[in-house]
Structure 1
């Protein structure tokens, strides 16, 4: 039977009618799966240099947005992205056949090196043991994310998986958060969302009416979180935050 955590009110000094937390939504890439490490290593294997990652991310974001909007299917998106990257950033014009071969090689290298963060399964085990509903909410473009979730042994933890490429909107659009809540059969104020992006995950979830937690895994990146956004540095901190900061009951023993 699903349980709930009782959260303190957001209003200073108010203790009346605190909302109940019935569900937890989690981002996948760079929250549960160390995606950047694998993707960056695959790019290095493709081009033999490590200084082009920011440019690759910019081009990728552009083409993923087109895939989420339904303009491109995932495979076409990846090949067009790689072709555009080589042309715009390296000044190399590739034919379609070469792009297909290079992208297939890069994708295989990346998928082979996917790894979970060490804290991922401990956190998910705790959430399931607490009886909370759990959702994955991800800005990925398509079927590859289902493959990744299955390959990493995460499928059994999620009641629902909400993928931007399948619902047609991406974080921080409130509609993707509301879609997760609807599928979980909870109201937004009964859900918490955790992700590694302050803008897309934390602020997006907060503005959609969910409780927001920013996972900042980079100890060198210091920024004060905006109002109504909590910060943790790893997922091992999540249970204690849910219990202490929200519920105000004794923390679980470790």
Structure 2
């Protein structure tokens, strides 16, 4: 039986933050919509959607370079702004304009941070079952703590492992192992839930955890090597927990059971 097929025995659930617990995608869409209107007002609705998609996909790999510790947050963002202007006919920006663009983006996105609608119910269910939780993130601690504070989760979800700790992020196995050590569990007693198949679910699986892919947008992919859920509401059941978070009669979380 593969690790993806044996979710029981989980004592700790580690969680991604962005687009798992916090609707970061919605925040950046809202912020970019405002800034595209300022800096690239010639774009029609279709072109704006294409620009939003390009920002999310980051074809230059600048955010991934940031998660590898190669550049800082501001550098990756400015590189993506320059790329966006080049791809969609925006003006060439001076250093001051680039700084202003980035600062306005940051202010807007922070205003727009919101919890995902299923986040609190998951945390409540895990708490009721006595399962500890922690966040593992490919960003810096202060930034992510500020984000969790903004959405009301800072007291419920410690940031266990982040870019500051080891100088690089997911999917390196050391990131997951570091989090497990801090919470006092072995990897096989931990699950990790995140919205990126390779970076989150497969990275966790390769590190020996139960990798759970949150496929919010219904990609239609059936990877087979990790557990898949469409919403966080499905996670407790996957772990053998009842609706209120308790372990159903006859379920031993210390023994393996088949995922449903």
Which TM-score tier does this pair reach, normalised by the shorter chain?
0.7 to 0.9
Measure, in 2, the Cα distance between the counterparts of 1:39 and 1:67: 18
Aligned to 1:25: 14
Aligned length: 236
Equivalent runs, 1:142-161 vs 2, <5 Å = 143-161=142-160
**Residues 145, 159 of structure 2: 8 Å contact kept:** no
Corresponding position: 1:41 with 2:39: no
Measure, in 2, the Cα distance between the counterparts of 1:69 and 1:232: 27
Deviation at 1:70, TM superposition (A): 3.5
Deviations 1:208-238 (A, max 9, x none): 100111111113x2111222x1111111111
Measure, in 1, the Cα distance between the counterparts of 2:250 and 2:50: 43
Corresponding position: 1:56 with 2:50: no
**Residues 159, 184 of structure 1: 8 Å contact kept:** no
Aligned to 2:105: 106
Consecutive unaligned residues of structure 1, counting only runs of 5 or more, are: 1-8
Aligned to 2:125: 126
Please give the root-mean-square deviation of Cα atoms over the aligned residues, in Å.
2.8
TM-score under structure 2 normalisation? 0.80
Match of 1:161, SS state, is strand
Corresponding position: 1:241 with 2:251: no
Consecutive unaligned residues of structure 2, counting only runs of 5 or more, are: 38-47, 252-260
Aligned to 1:222: 220
Deviations 1:111-165 (A, max 9, x none): 1111111110111112122211211111225532221011111122224432235
Match of 1:231, SS state, is strand
